[in-house]
Amino acid sequence: MMKSLTFASLLVTVALAAFNVAAQPVVVEARHPSGAIIQLHNESGPCVDKAKLATFIYPDKKKVQGCWKTDGSVVSVAWFDADGGAIPVKFFKPPETL
């Protein structure tokens, strides 16, 4: 019982952190010609071990959060939907403003 309660608490914490991501400032973003966007935030949110929060925005505006780190040449991201990836740093630019 305690294990499932702890797991449920973790899910609630992750969900709340993901819900609050809109308030987190975007540091840089990468845009794909398809319309997909990866935003890197400077806040850790639910991420650990010095990782920071990331947001993947699909062309249809659906969002998935994750955690990112960089070694200086590549940004590695672990998405909360169990996917992951590595994107060269050169593809990230300051966010576009209106």
Q: Which residues of the chain have pLDDT under 70?
A: 1-24, 98
Structure tokens at 44: 């850790």
pLDDT recorded at residue 87? 96
What's the pLDDT at 5? 40
Could you tell me the pTM of the whole model? 0.73
Antiparallel, parallel or unpaired: β 37-41 and 52-57: antiparallel
The span from the CA of 89 to the CA of 16, in Å, is: 29
pLDDT per residue as tens digits for the range 69-94: 999 999 999 999 999 999 999 999 99
Helices vs. strands in the chain: H and E counts, helices first: 1, 6
Report d(CA 64, CA 41) in Å as an integer: 13
Residue type, 91: F
